[in-house]
Amino acid sequence: MSGLRILEFIKPFSSLIPEVELPYEKIIFDEKIFYTIGISAVYLLLSLPLTGVNPSNIADPFYWLRLPFASEAGTLLEFGVLPLVTSAFLWQILAGLKIIKVNFSNIYDRQFFQSLQKITAILIAIIYGSILAFSGYFQSIDSFVKLNESQSTQLWGNILIISQLTISTGIVCLLVELLEKGYGFGPGIMAFIAVNSATKFAGSLFGFITNIKTSQSNGAVIQLVRNIFNKSITNAIYDVFTRDSEINFTQIYLVIATLALISYFHHFRMDISIKSSKVRSMVSNYPIRLFYSGALPILFAYSLIYNINIIIFSLSKIFGPIPLIANWELNAYTNKTYELTSGILYFLSTSNFGSYYYFNIIKLFTFTTFITFISGIFGRNWYAMSGSSGKDLAKQFKDQDIVVIGHRDATVAKELTKMISSSSFIGSLILGSIIGFVESTGLSKGLVAGVVVGVLSALSLLESIMSEYQQSGPANSQFSQVFGI
Amino acid sequence: MSSTAVPGGAKTLAKRKATQENKLKQQQQNQPNSSRAAGAGGSSASMLKIFNEEAQGFKIDPLVVLVFAVAFIFSVVLLHVLAKITGNIF
């Protein structure tokens, strides 16, 4: 019996953790939609500047990693859903590889496993919050503003920041829990990512807010209109395609092109013909998509990079630079970002500020390879760890009295495994290489990865919403007009 | 006649042990390694889902969570206002 009984450590704390009640009765469809919208709105409201931090004055080294995790620099959503994603992946993978021992058929073990994930998420927020705070990340970069501060006020300021980050991560946990326990739709993490990237993308097109420092509108289209009135037409268009401080049209066209490609691949699937063994009915199709793992391979690869970046960045600021691993330099033009210039982490980044010219070319290959490799490995293993392998699917079919046409009961699992393992692996490789390549050029600055993760999350969310809608019956919903039929 | 053959199964003790070990091993391998595999919901291939059980801990109503979240947001806003008024809180 190998494996660590990590759950034993959690038991004493488990009664202290706030836990959302399961609904007494099934929440009706319309109410679920309102809950989902309301909870997403509360999540977006959390992107409020931290007290003691001026978000427009801090330099952000992680700007190209933020969008897939719905995080925002210097706000209560400094980490977004990253702590949750990290702890969910970490423990599920450890349990899936049987490194820690969890007996999932036992309800108590499942409960403790869930509490473990929640506690880990908050611990991650505390740890990252403190190392970032003490590395001086939250201080204004125009440092002469706050020189008269004493040591102890800085300590209290840091503690205030850490506690705000901790509480806000706890709230994000609870909001996710609300959505997942049947009050709203689908996995809360995916819902928040989808809502946030939709908001960001719409804002980057039509955002009216003007950045005071650069006097540029958030939205690229709005900026184009403004430019046309102010500049000559060539200058106006050139500026919108190349501006650095906000999202520019180059990024937007990259997003549109990548989305077109991704949605083309998203339709690749193999249909298995199934029918009920009890009721004489017509044959229906069960699709196995090429992107069997959805957006998760990218999310996993990015969460890996994001975590490493946070840790190394703050350690290098606290204990002095580690030139071999990573080297950050303030972007001298905008003063808004730290850019990786050399070190191992540079080659796993999208930064275009390499200290030598040929670094930028090597980085194209290393970043693409890294993302492809990680998402490939993930796609190879995740379906088995998450209980979606051929064996589990076959069991599910058997429980629902569904037979796969053309196969005996005994061979169904084997046949499904064959399809699922290859489609999941190849799909993840394709997804990883597309995103990796587009991002490695450094032109998109995380927008492509974020929007693609958001769209794929939204699609898997939509699937669960539609199946719920069809089960509850269109007549019971006020939204039947919206969804049609 | 103490060594009468036990009916059923392999004859020798070594083989009996081997079959038993194999059986245990198989059982362990067939143990579900995720809550979805155990049939209780949770992360699937394309979704990352954490919360599907009602674990122990103090129970809170969903509305309380929303009110708490909004209250927290307002308290942070209040801190901002205070910081603006007094110049610097700490």
Q: Is B38 on the interface with A (CB under 8 A)?
A: yes
B9 CA to chain A: closest CA distance, Å?
25
Taking CB atoms and an 8 Å cutoff, what residues of chain A touch B57? 14-19, 115
Residue A60 has a pLDDT of 86
Is the Cβ–Cβ distance between A389 and A420 less than 8 Å? yes
- How close A355 gets to chain B, by Cα (Å)? 38
Residue of chain B minimizing CA distance to A146: B88
Q: Count of CB atoms within 10 A of residue A463's CB?
A: 14
Q: Is A84:A325 a contact under the CB 8 Å cutoff?
A: no
Q: For chain B, give every domain's residue range.
A: 12-55, 60-90
What CA–CA distance (Å, rounded) separates A175 from B65? 7
Query: Where are the strands (E) in A179-297, listed by range?
Result: 210-211, 216-217, 269-276, 284-289
Looking at the complex, does the CB of residue B81 fall below 8 Å from at least one CB of chain A?
no
Q: Look at residue A146 in the predicted model and tell me its pLDDT.
A: 52
- Residue B51 backbone zone (phi > 0: left; psi -120 to 50: alpha; other: beta): beta
pLDDT for B90 beyond 90: no
What the block records as the tokens of A37 is 């919208």
| Interface contact flag, B48 A114, Cβ < 8 Å | no
Which chain A residue has its CA at the smallest distance from B38's CA? A105
pLDDT 10s per residue in chain A (485 long)? 445 677 777 777 777 888 888 888 888 888 888 889 999 999 999 988 888 788 878 888 888 888 999 998 888 999 989 999 999 999 988 888 888 888 888 888 888 888 888 889 999 999 999 998 888 888 877 655 555 556 667 788 888 889 999 999 999 999 998 888 888 887 889 999 999 999 988 988 888 887 777 777 788 888 888 888 888 888 888 888 888 778 888 889 999 999 999 999 988 888 888 888 787 777 888 888 888 888 899 999 999 999 999 999 888 888 888 888 888 888 777 777 888 888 888 888 888 777 778 888 888 899 999 999 999 999 988 888 888 888 888 888 888 888 888 888 788 888 888 888 899 999 999 999 999 999 888 888 889 999 999 999 998 888 888 888 887 776 667 777 676 65
- Partners of residue A112 in chain B, C-beta under 8 Å: 55
The two three-digit tokens of residue A468, written as one number: 């719920």
Is B47 in CB contact (< 8 Å) with chain A?
A: yes
Query: What's the rounded mean pLDDT across residues B15-24?
Result: 87
Count of other CB atoms within 10 angstroms of residue A418: 11
* Domain architecture of chain A: domains with CATH: 7-207+217-226+247-473 (1.10.3370.10)
* The residue to which tokens 């210097």 are assigned: A74
Using a CB-CB cut-off of 8 Å, the residues of chain A touching B78 are none
Contact with chain A for residue B76, Cβ under 8 A? yes
Number of H helices, E strands in chain B: 2, 1
Interface predicted TM-score (ipTM) over 0.85: no
A187 contacts on B by Cβ (under 8 Å) = 43, 47-50
SS3 A39: helix
CB A292 to CB B45 under 8 A?
A: yes
Q: Do B32 and A387 touch (CB under 8 A)?
A: yes
B55 touches chain A (CB under 8 A): yes
CA-to-CA distance for A89 and A111, rounded, in angstroms? 17
Quick one: pLDDT at residue A1? 42
Q: Please give the C-alpha separations between residue A272 and each of A141, A402, A407, A408, A474, in angstroms, as whole numbers.
A: 58, 12, 11, 14, 27
**B24 and A CB contact within 8 Å:** no
Mean pLDDT of B29-42: 74
B chain contacts of residue A175, beta-carbon cutoff 8 Å: 65, 69
| Token code pair at residue A114 | 């869930």
Q: Where are the beta strands (DSSP E) in B1-90?
A: 59-60
Chain B: residue nearest A172 by CA? B69
Q: What is the pTM of this model?
A: 0.89
Q: Are strands B59-60 and A19-20 parallel, antiparallel or unpaired?
A: parallel
The whole-angstrom distance between A287's CA and the closest CA on chain B is 14
Q: Smallest Cβ distance to B57: which of A14, A107, A460?
A: A14
Strand segments, DSSP code E, in A433-483 are none
Nearest CA in chain A to B25: A1
Query: Which residues, at least 6 apart from A397, have a Cβ–Cβ distance to it below 8 Å?
Result: A274, A403, A404, A412
Return the residue in A7, A15, A20, A44 with the most chain B beta carbons within 10 A, the one to mutate for interface testing. A20
Average pLDDT, chain B: 79
Interface test with A, best of B31, B35, B36, B81 (most A CBs within 10 A): B35
Neighboring chain A residues of B43 at a CB cutoff of 8 Å: 88, 92, 187, 386-387
